[in-house]
Structure 1
């Protein structure tokens, strides 16, 4: 079968690989669509701490069951909860396996979905509604990240929100926040295409190339500051800004992953009594509910997808992502083509 294989830093290629053989309790899936995300970009760059070449990438996918299992019929479409927990550490023993101390994932620690076929434990699969388009189903996994962040933040009805970063996770977080009842959502970035999409989705874009974020927030909130900040950019300036724009008593949710230490204004956290909370992936239940959420938000989610590539021609996908003139936000790979 064909697969997109990470072969080393800055190197991927389409390879012919062996068809997976399902182990007991697994089912073979014919892949339909698979998204490319920030984690895949990190793996491709060679900076991911666990991913080792050669590796078939991809953990945001929708597939079709090839042979019936105990719970799913042949031809049924499914999405997979991709997280692999040890079951023995403290988080696993106390009901939080999504922050397992040895957390692993499909597409990072073992073969992923950017291939024609993938074998997956049946108990990790969730059915896709019959009326849900595959393109929307492929966004269930990143939407679960956004759902987790919004629920971690305890966002309230009519809260005013700032999302730092207009990448796929930032935009999905903004959409999830609005779905949860946010009255106004500001989205900041430096990318004009992503800012234009944020505006088209009904959010208030803040162009950091020319606008001062603090001033924009002050104007939008009558000088109060936002109730909730979602830091989805993962860069130093966002860590600097997040404490400045939160109102006293507000919440900051770290949705991005900062791979290196960066300065944070701890004095702001103390003086303003801010609530700073992390958010990592999602629980199994949040993944399940993100299917329903995706169905409710399908029209907006469709607009976040900016390109679909055939698997056979996807070896240059990371070049496209890195090229600003290509103006991509979310790229899907059609694993049937």
Structure 2
């Protein structure tokens, strides 16, 4: 079968690889679409500490079941499914106390074992969820990143009619904005330094600000008469954002770290004290939240149509990371069509 394989830093290749071996209590899934994630970009760059070549990448996938071995959950051939891709150890403290999504040895499909940018994969039944018939394959491929947002909103304790500022207009930032608007936010401001992405968000009806040179802090101060916003979602992972977040949130406001920072960052902890702000982390999602997202995606599918900007056939995907890195192409969310 064809697969997109991480071969070495800055090199992926479309290869003919053997089909994976059948497993008991698992299903053979013929892949349809698989999304490209920021984690995949890090793998391609050789910067992910666990991903080892050769590796079939991809953890944001949707496919159709072709065979089930020892089925106990009622799946059958023809079912469209997505997978909860987290692999927990089951024995560490988080796993023993009900939070396996923050397992001390957490692994993921497509990072620690072969993933979904391929013709087929055998996937354990207990991580599969059937996709609503109303949802297209393209939108179903967004369920995994959308689950990140569901978790983030839960962690932030966002409430209806709260105001929110989102730092970062990438896929996670835009998905956050979509979920907030659907949830009745009173005001949503999205910041980035990429004018193309800001333009896309503006076209979709969101209030946008270029964050260069403190532009976001100045805008929020003027717009709120210095009071700040109820919730800040930091989705960019960039250093400058870490120092700005406390200036953007109101007294008693919440800062939710949705994006993962790859290094320690300076944060103004004095403002956390003086303004009694809450700074909370958010990491992936629980299995329950992933299940909730499967049905949630069907409810907001019309909004999600705007997130996918490019689809690349698997057979022509060797240059996909060069395409994403090219500022002239203006990618947001790129999918690999595993059937082509």
Smaller-chain TM-score bracket:
over 0.9
Give 1:291 deviation, angstroms.
Answer: 1.2
Deviation readout 1:239-283 (Å, 9 max, x if unpaired):
011111110110000011111111111111111111000000000
CA separation in 2, counterparts of 1:96 and 1:177? Answer: 25
Give 1:298 deviation, angstroms.
Answer: 1.0
After TM superposition, the score normalised by the length of structure 2 is: 0.97
Give 1:183 deviation, angstroms.
Answer: 1.1
Q: Determine which of 169, 189, 198 is the counterpart of 1:166.
A: 169
How many residues in Structure 1 have an aligned counterpart in Structure 2?
337
Give 1:293 deviation, angstroms.
Answer: 1.5
Moved more, 211-220 or 127-136: 211-220
CA separation in 1, counterparts of 2:125 and 2:85? Answer: 11
Residue of structure 2 in register with 1:63 after alignment = 63
Unaligned 5+ segments in structure 1 are none
Q: Determine which of 93, 96, 105 is the counterpart of 1:93.
A: 96
Give 1:118 deviation, angstroms.
Answer: 0.6
Deviation readout 1:19-65 (Å, 9 max, x if unpaired):
11221111110000000010000111111111100000000000100
Give 1:181 deviation, angstroms.
Answer: 2.5
Alignment of 1:220 with 2:194, yes or no, is: no
After TM superposition, the score normalised by the length of structure 1 is: 0.98
Alignment of 1:277 with 2:258, yes or no, is: no
| Structural mapping, 1:1-337, within 5 Å | 1-68=1-68, 70=71, 71-209=74-212, 212-337=215-340
Unaligned 5+ segments in structure 2 are none
CA-based RMSD: 1.1
Whether the 8 Å contact between 1:158 and 1:181 is mirrored in structure 2 is yes
Give 1:238 deviation, angstroms.
Answer: 0.6
CA separation in 2, counterparts of 1:55 and 1:206? Answer: 39
Give 1:210 deviation, angstroms.
Answer: 7.2
Which contiguous aligned blocks of 4+ residues in structure 1 show a shift greater than 3 angstroms?
none
